[in-house]
Each structure stands twice: as structure tokens, then as C-alpha cells.
Structure 1
Amino acid sequence: MAPKKETDNTNIVAQNRRARFDFFLTETFEAGIVLRGTEVKSLREGKGNIQESYAEAKNGEVWLVNCYIPEYQSKMPFGHEERRPRKLLLRKREITKMHDALNKKGFTLVPVKLYFTERGIAKLEVAIAEGKKKADKREAVKARDWQRDKARILRDFS
């Protein structure tokens, strides 16, 4: 099943911009996240970081590891652990596809974007990714620089 198309009405909380530079993203999935109340409140304030996080599949489930959601600042006597593993909600066939990809050498699960849908539900975009080598990264930088220079030349020429 293909992931749903993204609309402009989503509220992006955190993005992993480095993921597209460090990895070849082969396939993306939209996953729900099991969160506690204070975690949702903290995310609604725009706090949260998925830069150093990753996902792992074990025992037929997929978990988001090392995602940072700071404690919600209120007078509540209980909070949440900031870097606890969080369960991702996916379809069974998506989980098996991810598990099969992880068994191949060089593949990993990378969180790309954390956002709220129009209905106010927290979602995480997870991608099956293959690590880039140093030469691939240099090639990406060259291509990006050339596109920028080409746009500048065309703008000046017109």
C-alpha cells in the first residue's frame, strides 16, 4: 500500500533534513506514534527533535529510538521520560517490508518528519534508507551547487 499524499495543512513539528544528505531514501511510510499526554502537549508547542533518532524492528513491532521530546512545563506531578523508545503504529505488511529491508546489508530505518495531521493526530514519516558513501555525498553537493549556479545564470541572462 502506498503512503498517503501529503497536504499543505499539516503542522510539521520536527524534520530530519540531514537524512536526505546522508542516505538514499528508497521508500517512505506514514506511521502513528504511541505517545503520552504530556508528550503530545510538548509536541504541540513545537518542541521535539528527531535528528539523532532511528527506528528498529523487533518482535513484529517497530520502535522509534532516541527521539527527544522535552518534558511539558506545567504543574503536573508526573511527566515523561524524554528519550524513551516509542512504538510506531504500522500495518503488518509494512512491518514485514521494513524487517526484510533491515536484514539486507546497509539498510536502516530513518525518521524523516514528525507532524500533526489536519485531524490533530501525531504522525511520523519513516523511510527505508541506504547509507551514502563519501563520494555520493560529494556528488550531491556538486549537483546542488550546479543547480544554484544554473538558476543564477538564467536569472541574470533573462
Structure 2
Amino acid sequence: MPKGEGKVISQNRKANHDYFIEETYETGIVLKGTEIKSIRAGRVNLKDGFAKIDQGEVFLHNMHISPYEQGNIHNHDPLRTRKLLLHRKEINKLIGLTKEQGYTLVPLKLYLKNGFVKVLLGLGKGKKKYDKREDLKQKAAKREIDRAFRERQKGF
């Protein structure tokens, strides 16, 4: 199964707007009891999330998982830091890239694969304001071309 396939639970659409994504990594995530139930219910937000490498391990910060309604005292902090599971070679490569070349680790997708929750982590470089404007112009032009093409097809 290719990277990013499975039942998509949440996507970070803002990441592609704010970053040039150069590589992606499929990672596992360490969760506690009621968090998985809340994720399966789709109550998760990746928008402000980011990953950091600390002492040779990768951690996901600011990913919001809403408390599970039937969880009572077993619920956890919605914004707690969660550990991501990667191979040692991948972590070493990411350490080099994030330290020297100004890359950022951004969660792109959260999905289920074979019953496990996976995070698609993107290695991105921040876009400048003019890059974002250029992307918006290209999207608008493509939308306009598609609209004209559809109208032309209706005429035939």
C-alpha cells in the first residue's frame, strides 16, 4: 500500500499552503486509551501541529485530540506531546536536514492503516508571502481554465 493510503481521518490542508513539501514519511504514533476512540470518531485537528526531534526521538506537538465523551477520568490532555515512531536511519536523516537547512516537520495527514493510526509527516521549507500569492494565482487560473473547458464541453 503506498504512503498515505487508508481511511483518512484528518488532513492538514494549510500545510501545503504554508510550506514546500519535499519529502513525506509514514510514521506510527504512540497514543493512550481514549485517544484512539476519539480519533476513530474523527475528533482531531492537525492544523497547528508540528514535529520536533528531541534526544534522538521525534515528538508531535500541538495536535488537538478532543477528549472522548465516555472517557470520564481516563481522558488525557488534548494538546499533549505525542511520540512518533520512525526508523533510526530516517530520524538521523531528519536530524541533519532540520538542524542545518531550515526544514520543518509538519503533519500532513492522519489515517488508519490495517487498524493502526498513522501520521504522514512532511519535510517542508517555509514559503514566503510572494510564493503563497503565486500559488493562489495559479490555482485561480487553473480553476478558470477548467470552468471554461466544462462550459465548452456543454455546448457540444
In structure 1, the partner of 2:73 is 77
What is the letter of the counterpart of residue 137 of structure 2?
Answer: K
- The alignment partner of 2:45 has SS state of coil
Aligned 8 A contact 2:12 2:108 in 1: yes
In structure 1, the partner of 2:11 is 15
Equivalent residues in 2 for 1:26-45, closer than 5 Å? 26-45=22-41
By how many angstroms is 1:75 displaced? 5.4
By how many angstroms is 1:68 displaced? 0.6
Q: Counting helix residues as a fraction of each chain, which structure ranks higher?
A: 2
Greater shift in the superposed pair: 28-37 or 99-108: 99-108
Q: Distance in 2 between matches of 1:132 and 1:41?
A: 35
TM-score by length of 2: 0.92
In structure 2, the partner of 1:99 is 95
Tell me if 1:121 matches 2:116: yes
- The correspondence for 1:151, drawn from 143, 146, 149, is 146
Q: Distance in 2 between matches of 1:74 and 1:28?
A: 35
- The correspondence for 2:134, drawn from 130, 139, 146, is 139
TM-score by length of 1: 0.91
Q: For the structure 1 residues 75 and 141, does the alpha-carbon distance in structure 2 shift closer, same or farther, using more than 3 Å as the test? A: closer
By how many angstroms is 1:81 displaced? 1.3
Taking only the aligned residue pairs, the percentage that are identical comes to: 41
By how many angstroms is 1:30 displaced? 0.4
- The correspondence for 2:106, drawn from 107, 110, 114, is 110
Q: Distance in 2 between matches of 1:126 and 1:75?
A: 28
By how many angstroms is 1:4 displaced? 3.6
- The correspondence for 1:48, drawn from 21, 38, 44, is 44
Q: Distance in 2 between matches of 1:64 and 1:107?
A: 15
- What do the CA deviations read for 1:136-158 (whole angstroms, capped 9, x no partner)? 11110111111111111222223
Tell me if 1:88 matches 2:84: yes
Q: Distance in 1 between matches of 2:3 and 2:107?
A: 17
Aligned residues, how many? Answer: 153
- The correspondence for 1:63, drawn from 59, 79, 94, is 59
What is the letter of the counterpart of residue 39 of structure 2?
Answer: L
Unaligned segments of structure 2, at least 5 residues: none
